[in-house]
Amino acid sequence: MVVTLPIAALGDKIGVKWVMYLGIIPSFLVIIPLVLSIQAKNVALIWLFVILIRVTLSGAWAPLSTLMAQMFRPQARYTSMSLSYGIGAAVWGGLSPAIASLLLVVTDGNFWSVVAFFGLLTLAAWIGVRFAPQHSDTAPVTGSFTARTDTTAVNISDS
């Protein structure tokens, strides 16, 4: 919470997508020295890099609810957010440890396969943030669930 609140405030100032990028990319970069520390069995460095990952992931976590809320029109927001968050948490959060463990077994303990897996997750997160639509709360209500470009607040500086 000490890190998350200031990062959320930063998202209000510079845009949630930029803060998400500032969290996603460094989190992946910290994975590499963490893996090397685990291989070296250096407990002090493992602690340091786990703390750093937690700080950098706050950059992705803090603005997530704002980004997700703006992805959907107000008329469909509650169901859409609940469904997408639940599926994302179950698939990414639930299966990631199992996939990483399986990669270690299949590659005879090669940690670089896990780093590559987290690289793919990082790329998927970056692409998801880049192309996430941002709808306005003041858009007129329609009976259609067809995507509307007149309600999307896409700004190149936000991407």
Residue found by looking up tokens 């069995």 in the block: 41
Mean pLDDT computed over 19-35: 90
Q: For residue 158, is pLDDT > 70?
A: no
Share of the chain above pLDDT 70, in %: 84
The pTM of the whole model exceeds 0.85: no
Q: Are 99 and 107 in contact (CB under 8 A)?
A: no
Contacts of 96 (CB under 8 A, 6+ apart): 117, 121
> For the segment 85-140, what is each residue's pLDDT rounded down to a tens digit?
788 888 878 898 899 999 999 999 898 999 999 999 999 989 988 888 776 656 55
pLDDT attached to residue 156: 44
C-alpha to C-alpha distance for 74 and 63, rounded to whole angstroms:
18
